[in-house]
Amino acid sequence: MRLTHRRSQHRGRPAAVVATGAVAALVLAGCATAGSDDDADSEGGGDGPVSLRYQSLAFQEPTIQASQEIVDAWNADNPDVQVEYVQGSWDSVQDQLVTQFQGGTAPDVIQYESAAMTQFAEQGYLADLSGSLSEEVTSAVPEGVLDAVTVDDQVIAAPTLLQSYVVFANRGLLEEAGVEVPEGETWSWDEFQAAAAATTGGDTFGVGWGLAEPTATMLSLGMNFDATYFEGTGEDVTIDVGEEELALPERIHAMAYDDRSLDPVSITQSGSDVMTGFLKGKYAMTVQGSYQAQALTESAPADLDWVAMPLLEADSAAQAANPQTLSVAAESPHVEEAAAFIDYFMQADNLAKVAEGDWLIPASSDAAEVVSTDTEGANGWSTILAGGQYLTKAPFQSATNYPQWKDQIATPAFQRYLADEIDADQLATELTEGWESVSGG
pLDDT value of residue 184 = 86
Residue spans of the domains in the chain: they are 50-160+323-363, 165-320+394-439
Task: Tell me which DSSP letter residue 387 carries.
Answer: G
**Contact of 206 with 399, CB cutoff 8 Å:** no
**What is the pLDDT averaged over residues 288-297?**
92
State how far the alpha carbon of 151 is from the alpha carbons of 4, 115, 175, 322, in Å. 27, 11, 48, 14
At residue 318, does pLDDT exceed 70? yes
**What is the pLDDT averaged over residues 409-433?**
98
Predicted confidence (pLDDT) per residue in 7-62, tens digit? 333 333 333 333 333 333 333 333 333 334 444 343 334 578 999 999 999 988 89
Pick 143 or 415 by higher pLDDT.
Answer: 415
pLDDT value of residue 367 = 97
Predicted confidence (pLDDT) per residue in 185-240, tens digit? 899 999 999 999 999 999 999 999 999 999 999 999 999 999 999 999 878 899 99
Distance CA 325, CA 393 (A): 14
Predicted confidence (pLDDT) per residue in 261-291, tens digit? 999 999 999 999 999 999 999 999 999 999 9
Domains 50-160+323-363 and 165-320+394-439 share a fold: yes
pLDDT value of residue 144 = 87
pLDDT value of residue 29 = 30
CATH code: domain 165-320+394-439 is 3.40.190.10
pLDDT value of residue 46 = 56
Distance CA 1, CA 361 (A): 34
**pLDDT averaged over the chain?**
89
What b/e sequence results for 214-226 when a residue is b if at least 16 CB atoms lie within 10 Å of its CB, and e otherwise? bbbbbbbbbbbbe
Distance CA 145, CA 102 (A): 28
The H or E element containing residue 320 is strand 319-320
Predicted confidence (pLDDT) per residue in 129-177, tens digit? 999 999 999 999 999 899 999 998 999 999 999 999 999 999 999 999 9
Pick 20 or 118 by higher pLDDT.
Answer: 118
At residue 251, does pLDDT exceed 50? yes
Predicted confidence (pLDDT) per residue in 352-363, tens digit? 999 999 899 999
234 forms beta bridges with 399
pLDDT value of residue 399 = 87
pTM: 0.82
Under CATH, to which class is 50-160+323-363 assigned? Answer: alpha beta
